Amino acid sequence: MSPLIITDDVRKTYHLNQADATEAVACISLQIDAGEVVVLKGPSGSGKTSLLSLIGCMSRPTSGRIIVAGEEVSRLPERFLTLVRRRTFGFVFQQYQLIPDLSVHDNVMLPLYPEALGLAAMQQRVALALADVEMDSFAGRRVAHLSGGQQQRVAIARALVNRPQVLIADEPTAHLDSRLSIELLQRLTVLKQAGLTLIIATHDPMVCDHTLVDRVITLHDGRLVGEGGA
């Protein structure tokens, strides 16, 4: 079986050809199989978030190739890249990146807007996604009025509502206490059991050492410096 995601000598430099050019990712090659749980580990500024963005088609590499489900996406036109992003990936951002003035329900529904779905089907998917993260009773509540843990659950529901193959989570435990972190890891375990591929960027040992993790990739200054089982 071919890997779901391949990065081939991928490099990402911000402010290219400028005095303040920063190489965030340097020559990284890796493969991630479908259903695998991979942790990207490393200190702040090691390039974890940049690599997640590249894998999730949120940005393009300066050089190198990224292949998702057999298709090279690094040079795809924007429209098709968006389609790959929408169909393949769900994102849980470090700061959740929810729209604070919208309700929980409307935030979760946003990824479905570009899809050719009827309103009833959309409502049904949103209800299911919210039920999965036990936030269905908060559907009408404005996101700004929720706690950090609740916001993260909404972010997970939004990431899953499009039924992606891969869930990408950036520092998912950064704003959670230990009880909520355990709860999150249990939730991620359920997703793994459901066959979802998980790519998690973190420097939290509780995540790195968890049994759900298949592989830990260590980054430093944008380079891959270590790889092994949890």
Residue 69 found at the interface with another protein (CB under 8 A): no
d(CA 79, CA 81): 5
Given the complex with another protein, which of 157 and 216 has the nearer CB atom?
157
Q: How many residues bind another protein (CB under 8 A)?
A: 30
Rounded-to-integer distance, Cα 47 and Cα 168, Å:
15
Query: Longest Cα pair distance anywhere in the chain, in angstroms?
Result: 53
Q: Which of residues 161-200 bind another protein (CB under 8 A)?
A: 162
Q: Token digits for 108?
A: 């979760």
| Residue from the set 34, 58, 76, 127 that interacts with another protein by CB under 8 A | 58
Q: How far apart are CA 32 and CA 13, in angstroms?
A: 23
Nearest distance from C-beta of residue 164 to another protein, angstroms: 9
Subset of residues 99 to 128 that bind another protein, contact rule: CB under 8 A: 99, 101-102, 106, 110-111, 113-119
Residues 67-82, buried b or exposed e (16+ Cβ, 10 A)?
Answer: bbbeeebbebeeeebe
Q: Is 221 one of the binding residues for another protein (CB under 8 A)?
A: no
Least spacing, CB of residue 223 vs another protein, in Å: 20
Closer by beta carbon to another protein, 174 or else 230: 174
**Contact residues for another protein, defined by CB under 8 A:** 50, 53, 58-60, 78-79, 82-83, 85-86, 91, 93, 97-99, 101-102, 106, 110-111, 113-119, 158, 162
